[in-house]
Chains A and B, each alone.
Chain A
């Protein structure tokens, strides 16, 4: 059975305190691993797509990496505006996205 697990469920950081979010996946035929950011009551906002193990992508203070079993979202020197829920999703041969439950990040000034 396809499964995507995110940890931790919630994370509180001081402004400037770097950390990583984890996404472990067990799916058959991974075609892409996606990261989205979601603000309360809004739709997910696309951040990154990773296609193969060893791939890395960066955007401002965020960096996503992928191995054969997990993906990490590294946040460097976060700011309060980075507070949101971060979702990862695996796309398999069925063309749909299989989401984890997300990590709720709070960055304290």
Chain B
């Protein structure tokens, strides 16, 4: 069984640029959630996608947007990058079998540095 994978591993951008991060969910999982983790902090929820539809959003501005594809992989797009966007971006997938609470399994993350 393949786990959650993310690409790229590291990325350096300058302020004002745009970035796209990618995530492949674990086999059999139809839900993907994205989190931002600043240094020394816990992950913060950005949004969740279930079967290609946004299924909840945290307190992040509209310049953070996402997509989920028919194979349940996902992208996180961030426009007009700011210095505070520098963080580890984590993708997590879950099976969402409709039974209530599902465990989210995390990928290794993408380290984004904004200069």
Contact = CB atoms under 8 A, between A and B. Distances in A.
Interface residues of A, number: 25
A43 B105 CA distance: 9
A34 B90 CA distance: 16
A43 B91 CA distance: 9
Instruction: Kindly state the interface size class of chain B when it binds its partner.
Output: 20 to 34
Interface in B43-86: 43-45, 48, 55-56, 58
A51 B100 CA distance: 11
B103 A101 contact: no
A41 interface: yes
Interface stretch (A14-22, A59-67, A69-77, A86-94): A86-94
Contacts of B6: 43
Contacts of B104: 34, 46, 97
Interface of A: 4, 31-32, 34, 36, 41-46, 49, 51, 87, 89, 91, 94-102
